[in-house]
Chains A and B, each alone.
Chain A
Amino acid sequence: MCPPEHFGVLYEINPWMHQEVAVDVDRARDQWETLASTLGDAGAEVETMAPQPGLPDIVFTANAGIVNRDCFVPSRFRHPQRQGESPHYTAWFAEHGFRIAELPGSVSHEGAGDALPFRSVLLSGYRFRSDAAAHVALSELAGVPVRPVELADDRFYHLDLTFCPLDERRALVAPAAWDSYGRKVVEALVPEPLPLDADETAAFVANSVVVGTNIVMPACPARIGRQLEAWGFDVVVVDVSEFQKAGGACRCLTLALDVALP
């Protein structure tokens, strides 16, 4: 994770961002610290990197790149406003003993925000931020098969706003955010999906972090909570509304380091 010292909405690169809406930096810091400690309580070990002035979205470490075992594939950001974050992510991973594997310069891919593991494949969204053309290289570099899912709603511009793997069989899914082929791909992949409706998706419910049987969520409607608990998950809701002003929630603020695929 990366603390929100310099977080704010300084530009608009997604439909949630409006520069005239001010971020309450103190509130953001409190929300971030609550998220970090909640994750710690759930059993996760949280490591942090240093924030940077002029890079407000560096808090969204999910987009740093793709991690698999000791390999880190840095992202190639679509927008210049976030491209400045890449050297900092790469430096952190290099310092922490990861092998850096670079994607070709011509493709965009925005990391774990757009590619999530489910069983032994990496489900990877494309269209708004990441390119389908990156998938072959990503697959080779990370050593994992990649299955593309085309994102169809520009409000849900990263896969992690529409998909949350829960365990080997289950996931939170927002099928309306994908095209028909993407829906079929996920249907074939996930034995027990829990679909979110339009309101639930817009409340960032899919952007949750799973630590073992604990699930840390930005919001949890009653029916979703009931099903998750029936499945044996412990649900904790953490308010991250300041970060939602920039179009991200719980999962966007984290990057899992202990991924090991297949």
Chain B
Amino acid sequence: MASERVEVRGHIIDSLILAKVLDVILDAGADYRMVDVEIGRTSADPSRAVIEVQAPDEELLDRLLTELLVHGANRVAQADAATVATDRDGVLPEGFYSTTNLPTQVRIHGRWVDVENPEMDCAVVVRPDGRVRTEPMHRVRAGDPVVVGRDGVRVQALERPRGANPFEFMTSEVSSEKPKDLLVAEVADRIRRAKSMGAKVLVVPGPAVVHTGASPHLARLVRAGWVDVLFAGNGFATHDIESNVVGTSLGVPLTGETPPEGGHANHLRVINEVRRRGSIAAAVSEGWLTGGTMFECVQRAVPFVLGGSVRDDGPLPDVLPNVVEAADAMRAQLPGVGVALMLASTLHAIATGNLLPAGVETFCVDINQAVVTKLADRGSHQALGIVTDVGLFLRTLADHLAP
């Protein structure tokens, strides 16, 4: 999508020029956003409106802007972005521009340049080679030119799809009262479409995926090639391995039998054995771990990042206990991700949501409405919340995609 700001001045209300300009924009198949309107105090004072014109491509935008010029709507003069070089590693200059996760552009030498990796709550660094990237605070290096202030920076509101869609998937909505079967079928469809367009699927499972007996279904999805990246924590990986090696999750048999005595220590013994072997991959190659989601990830070389937390037992050797390092490892896996599936996870789902650019289709599944609402409201752009048992959800999804 291409956009540019125009300004109309004068007696824009009485003269119907404002109405005409807006009609011309819509008739051309473009859209607009009113940025600012100042109405003159008396009928003798002129008024001013700033309108952001949004068109599907640059060519249509150019033609439209030329036509708008005829009606007196001029491009707004814009300044280049201001940058200040940081004087220290890991410390940003005062007044640094703080990002959102929306597609962002920075004006350099009169040209709008895309910010390569939109991420919220970061700074924008203009590299010497002209590329512009978001960087989290801890990654800036002394001398990096960091964008300060708001001049020369613009974000693009994501396109709102027009037309009726019975489930209105593109709104941030929590669905506890919608037919689940239809929702899951729609999620499956979105995943298929994303993959067919070359986008990656990211899954963020929480331990409840294993507790509800759904890990075999997730494993099925990984085996069938539907999962490209997995983010989780010590809990999910441990219980997934525990369920395959010992048949329990946190000591509770997944077959429904009575929990055996001492089962609460099963996960510790599992973690210990993986630590003995040195890594999950080693546990697989030695034949000790023979099934489950982590097993399938190793077999299919699906990259995973296990982020540590202060509660972790062990942790498993693959877990990154330095959370800043873990977040950077997650960032490294994000390019190309088009769909994110958050499954019964709060901590890692929120962490992932904070890293994702707006525009990644995000599905949040949890039995708890509050968790789903919280997650779906994060970037709020293309997130769908589904309140349901993750076990049932994953089984049905796997039946759709990997029957």
Contact = CB atoms under 8 A, between A and B. Distances in A.
Contacts of A147: 11, 14-15
Interface string B71-86: 1101000000000000
Nearest to B15: A147
A184 interface: yes
A131 interface: yes
A181 B22 CA distance: 12
A262 B42 CA distance: 14
Interface in B13-27: 14-17, 19-20
A82 interface: no
Interface string A16-42: 000000000000000000000000000
A181 B43 contact: no
A76 interface: no
Contacts of B16: 181, 184-185
B113 interface: no
A198 interface: no
Contacts of A46: none
A136 B17 contact: no
A131 B15 contact: no
Given A126-B70, A127-B70, A148-B72, A136 B14 contact: no
A262 B17 CA distance: 22
A132 B71 contact: yes
A139 to B, nearest CB: 6
B179 to A, nearest CB: 47
Interface of A is mostly: mixed
A133 B46 CA distance: 14
B69 interface: yes
B43 A136 contact: no
Interface residues of A, number: 20
A188 B11 CA distance: 14
A17 B16 CA distance: 33
A158 interface: no
Interface in B41-76: 43-44, 46, 69-72, 74
A223 to B, nearest CB: 30
A142 interface: no
Contact of B46 (A131, A132, A139): A139
Interface in A85-124: 121
A121 B43 CA distance: 11
A133 B69 contact: yes
Given A181-B19, A185-B16, A139 B70 contact: no
Given A139-B10, A139-B46, A131 B17 contact: no
Given A139-B46, A145-B43, A145-B44, A133 B74 contact: yes
A217 interface: no
A150 interface: yes
The listed residue with most A CB atoms (<10 A of its CB), out of B10, B11, B72, is B10
Nearest to B14: A147
Contact of A185 (B15, B43, B71, B72): B15
Contacts of B44: 145, 262
Nearest to B69: A133
Contacts of A126: 70-72
B46 to A, nearest CB: 7
A132 B70 contact: yes
A251 interface: no
A135 B20 contact: no
Given A139-B10, A145-B11, A146-B10, A132 B43 contact: no
Q: B20, B43, B46, B74: which has the most chain A beta carbons within 10 Å?
A: B20
A179 B71 CA distance: 12
Nearest to B68: A132
A150 B20 CA distance: 10
Contacts of B331: none
A150 B69 CA distance: 13
A185 B17 CA distance: 10
Interface string A182-207: 00110010000000000000000000
A262 B14 CA distance: 17
B9 interface: yes
A232 to B, nearest CB: 29
A134 B9 CA distance: 11
A126 B11 CA distance: 15
A135 B72 CA distance: 8
A220 B387 CA distance: 78
Contacts of B70: 126-127, 131-132
- Which of A121, A136, A146 is the most central at the interface, judged by chain B CB atoms within 10 Å of its CB? A136
B9 A136 contact: yes
B20 A181 contact: yes
B71 A150 contact: yes
Interface centre among B9, B69, B72, by most A CB within 10 Å?
B72
Given A132-B70, A135-B10, A148 B46 contact: no
Given A145-B11, A146-B11, A132 B72 contact: yes
A114 B388 CA distance: 68
A148 B15 contact: yes
Contacts of B17: 132, 148, 181
A135 to B, nearest CB: 5
Contacts of A133: 69, 72, 74
A139 B44 CA distance: 10
Given A146-B11, A185-B14, 15 more contacts: A126-B71, A127-B70, A132-B17, A132-B70, A135-B10, A139-B11, A139-B46, A145-B44, A148-B71, A150-B20, A179-B20, A181-B16, A181-B17, A181-B19, A184-B16
8 contacts: A127-B70, A131-B70, A139-B11, A145-B11, A145-B14, A181-B20, A185-B16, A262-B44
Interface of A: 121, 126-127, 131-133, 135-136, 139, 145-148, 150, 179, 181, 184-185, 188, 262
- 7 residue pairs, one from A and one from B, having the closest CB atoms: A132-B72, A181-B16, A147-B15, A181-B20, A136-B9, A133-B72, A136-B10
